[in-house]
Amino acid sequence: MSRSPIIDCDVHPSPKSIEEIRSYMAQPWKDRYNGGGRGFYGNPLHGARLDAKPPGGGPTGSDPEFLRKQLIEEYDEAHAILLPRAFCNLHPDPDYATAVAAAFNDWLADTWLSKYNHDGVFKGSITIAHQDPQAAAKEIERWAGHPHFVQVMTDSGARAPFGQRQYYPIYEACNKYGLPLAIHPGTDGMGINQQPTPGYPTHYIEWHTCLSLGFQAHLVSFITEGVFERFPNMKVVLTEGGVSWLPALMWRLDAEYKALRYEVPWVKRKPSEYLRDHVRLSSQPLERPDNDQHLLQVLEMMDAEHILMFASDYPHWDFDSPKFAFPKMPKNLRRRIFYENAKELYKL
């Protein structure tokens, strides 16, 4: 490998136009599809890096050569894990949502994972619509043997915590094929999905700050519902949900478990002990206190050496540069976060 060891675990490619996605859809879905979006919580100024607009036009993240120049070549990245934003998990019609997810997977496979991927730098995520877990499992099975799809992805926006049994067909497929499930924010409180805060926030800044609340609820649900005991090969990646909340949440859950383990007898270990075997977090957005030592202490408390993976969130406005996202840290810790943890998880 000629590139320095950086694996970027959250990169967002975009189709050049909605016609690219429509071309993979059958009727009646083809005529219904008019693009995606998360609704009324949008950045009031701009949603992407100001310098990320492709010089030849088109949406940010739609030009593979320009993305390579700004990201892969600029930072010598070995791999970019691609997470397209289909926003299919907000729709009340599960058949339509499944059709959108399938079209995005076909598009990604034909373009970023083949036509634009001569060196194998791009690795993809299988988009699913969790409204129909059975159909989602079939979509996972459809792509499980593809050499460049390395995980399954869904939005954190949902109608129920992800540990509940209606989602088991998805986890059975992930467990069977050894594919991690990445959870990404974007449809919380949108369409049919519940808002993780008590009611709807007024402003984007409030909504965006509180996105981690949904991730916390899903993680507690995964553990207390016994998902990792039922599906021992299951891996969950919490993408773009922050990281600093993890130690305090696990302290609280471990304390609750001491007194309430009778209620959840299928939880065989202390809740925090499931993290290293089953949970990974990506770093962006990395909470950065004024005192770098405080962040290093948080990384130690959360066992970042084994569960944290670097992510830039290119090309979004809150992009984290590999050069500046983290303070100075021991070389071994840096290598684990920037390369080894993702290499092991995705078998790269």
Its domain, for residue 306, covers 7-346
The whole-number pLDDT of residue 4 equals 60
Task: Let me know if residue 320 belongs to a domain.
Answer: yes
Task: Let me know if residue 295 belongs to a domain.
Answer: yes
**φ, ψ dihedrals at 283, nearest 5°:** -75, -35
Beta bridge partners of 8: 80
CB 342 within 8 A of CB 123: no
Determine the longest span between alpha carbons in the chain, in angstroms: 61
- Quick one: 49 exposed, middle or buried, by C-beta within 10 A (0-12, 13-18, 19+)? middle
Task: Let me know if residue 2 belongs to a domain.
Answer: no
The whole-number pLDDT of residue 42 equals 80
Report residue 173 as tokens: 């497929």
The whole-number pLDDT of residue 182 equals 98
The whole-number pLDDT of residue 3 equals 52
Q: Could you give the CA distance from residue 163 to residue 103 in angstroms, rounded to a whole number?
A: 27
Number of domains in the chain: 1
Report residue 190 as tokens: 């949108």
Q: How many other C-beta atoms are found inside a 10 Å radius of the C-beta of residue 322?
A: 20
Give the CATH number of the domain where residue 283 resides: 3.20.20.140
The whole-number pLDDT of residue 2 equals 46
Q: Of the candidates 347, 339, 344, which has an alpha carbon nearest to the alpha carbon of residue 76? A: 339
Task: Let me know if residue 1 belongs to a domain.
Answer: no
The whole-number pLDDT of residue 1 equals 44
Q: Could you give the CA distance from residue 222 to residue 216 in angstroms, rounded to a whole number?
A: 10
Distance (Å) of CA 147 to CA 109, 143, 144, 347, 348: 10, 9, 8, 11, 10
The whole-number pLDDT of residue 97 equals 97
The whole-number pLDDT of residue 265 equals 97
Q: Could you give the CA distance from residue 258 to residue 162 in angstroms, rounded to a whole number?
A: 23
Each of the 348 residues of the chain gets a pLDDT tens digit; together they read: 445 689 999 999 999 999 999 999 999 999 999 987 767 788 887 778 878 889 999 999 999 999 999 999 999 999 999 999 999 999 999 999 999 999 999 999 999 999 999 999 999 999 999 999 999 999 999 999 999 999 999 999 999 999 999 999 999 999 999 999 999 998 999 999 999 999 999 998 999 999 999 999 999 999 999 999 999 999 999 999 999 999 999 999 999 999 999 999 999 999 999 999 999 999 999 999 999 999 999 999 999 999 999 999 999 988 999 999 999 999 999 999 999 999 999 999
